[in-house]
Amino acid sequence: MPSEVKQLVIYYFSGTGNARNVAKWISGVAVERKIPTEVIDIAMIDRKHIPRPPAGTMIGFVSPTHGFNYPPVSMYFLFRFPRSNGNRFFLMNTRAGLKLSKWFVPGLSGLALWLSAIILLCKGYHIVGLRSIDLPSNWISFHPGVKEKVVESIYGHCKRITVAFASRILDGKRVYTAFRDIIQDILFSPVAIAYFFMGRFMLAKTFYATLDCDRCDICVENCPVKAIVIVDKRPFWSYRCESCMRCMNNCPKRAIETAHGYITAAMFLINLVILVLFWRWVSSLVTLPADKGWLKIPFTFARWGVTFAGLIVTYRVYHYLLKIPLVRELFYYTSLTRFRFWRRYRPSKKMISELH
Ligand SMILES: Cc1cc2nc3c(=O)[nH]c(=O)nc-3n(C[C@H](O)[C@H](O)[C@H](O)COP(=O)(O)O)c2cc1C
């Protein structure tokens, strides 16, 4: 017979509210059972000095999935999390759920739950729950925000799943629903690794503030990782950016866009000019023997390094060029997100009002 839960502490990271709402739904179930419960936003605490959980406390962690993994801020949090006192721990990730006709289509977790479960097992925790929740996708750099009606429907479906999960976990049962996806998760693991080391930095560089920005600084103040800084009297997205989408979805002036045109031009410049010149220079120094294919590995890393450096330089340059009206116009007219039909993402209004 598993010992009862004396206290529940749920930590979460959330860009646009999905993971936060899952944490709140679970705390609602615990409160109904009169279990003392705390819900903690990891963006609001000192993540380097997390108190060790007392024995008998169950811990939960909820975070969105970014590039088939937890975002780095969540991974670093779990890395630094204190060792277990014999505690139980459950892990959840919110993913990009869709609804096609009447079917709910799940997102993809990749390494999100598996890497973090390994970290926590090494710290001595008993993992009692691993579950993904397919709330609506907030990735509006890629697609317009999901329609309100669909958001409400997906939210209702996910709330039922989350409450059932919480009830089972608090009854002392173990729920490992994530094992259903393990094969596809393993298949996506190389993409997760590439995204962690490269992809997210590129995405951070796709945001810019248009002329509609009136410097209200809501984006700067609300950024959960303090990645937006003011440079040259304009918001500038630094490499700390997790691309969580909070800034873009919450801007009251709709003045934050994804610079699709810029990223295409930068990639063109880097791949067809800078990298070609780089390879010519490398070939003039060394000749790669055809039978030693493995020698290509350091060159692949060098290529990534050049791409990365190219992005840093081009983004800095573009940022300053934004002062020129023509460049501003070019940026604006090549951003898909500027179109009115490209909705911003808002979590379910109905469900949020229930939480307050
Ligand atoms: C940069 C970025 C990458 C994402 N990558 C994935 C992914 O790999 N798999 C997935 O299912 N959803 C992915 N999503 C969707 C989010 O995980 C999903 O919408 C989540 O519920 C958002 O939670 P939040 O509102 O708490 O931030 C991604 C979203 C963003 C912004």
Burial tier of 339 (Cβ tally within 10 Å: 0-12, 13-18, 19+): exposed
How far, in Å, CA of 302 to CA of 213, rounded?
A: 38
How far, in Å, CA of 227 to CA of 221, rounded?
A: 10
The tens-digit pLDDT sequence of the chain (356 residues) is 456 899 999 999 999 999 999 999 999 999 999 999 999 999 999 999 999 999 999 999 999 999 999 999 999 999 999 999 999 999 999 999 989 888 999 999 999 999 999 999 999 999 999 999 999 999 999 999 999 999 999 999 999 999 999 999 999 999 999 999 999 999 999 999 988 887 888 777 789 998 899 999 999 999 999 999 998 888 999 989 999 999 999 999 999 999 998 888 888 888 888 888 877 887 787 776 666 666 677 777 777 788 888 888 888 888 888 888 888 888 889 999 999 999 999 887 766 656 55
Give the phi and the psi of residue 61 in degrees, each rounded to 5: -140, 130
Q: Which atom of ligand 1 is nearest to the CA of 12?
A: 26
Residue 83 Cα to ligand 1 midpoint, Å, equals: 28
Residue 95 Cα to ligand 1 midpoint, Å, equals: 5
Give the phi and the psi of residue 38 in degrees, each rounded to 5: -130, 135
Nearest partner of 235 among 215, 253, 251, 221, judged by Cα: 215
Q: Where are the domains of the chain?
A: 7-190, 260-334
Q: 7-190 sits in which CATH class?
A: alpha beta
pTM score above 0.85: yes
**Which of 139, 196, 206, 242, when mutated, tests ligand 1's pocket best, judged by the most ligand atoms within 8 Å of its CB?**
139
Instruction: Give residue-wise pLDDT tens across range 287-332.
Output: 766 666 666 777 777 777 888 888 888 888 888 888 888 888 888 8
Average per-residue pLDDT in the chain?
90
How far, in Å, CA of 153 to CA of 134, rounded?
A: 12
How far, in Å, CA of 227 to CA of 237, rounded?
A: 6
**3-state SS record for the chain:** CCCCCCEEEEEECCCCCHHHHHHHHHHHHHHHCCCCEEEEEHHHCCCCCCCCCCCCEEEEEEEECCCCCCCHHHHHHHHHCCCCCCCEEEEEEECCEEEECCEEECCCCCCHHHHHHHHHHHCCCEEEEEEEECCECCCCCCCCCCCHHHHHHHHHHHHHHHHHHHHHHHCCCCECHHHHHHHHHHHCHHHHHHHHHHHHHHHHCCEEECCCCCCCCHHHHHCCCCCEEEECCEEEECCCCCCCCHHHHHCCCCCEEECHHHHHHHHHHHHHHHHHHHHHHHHHHCCCCCCCHHHHHHHHHHHHHHHHHHHHHHHHHHHHHCCCHHHHHHHHHCCHHHCCCCCCCCCCHHHHHHHC
Contact residues of ligand 1, CB 6 A cut-off: 14-19, 64-68, 94-96, 107-108, 110, 135, 137-139, 203, 243-245
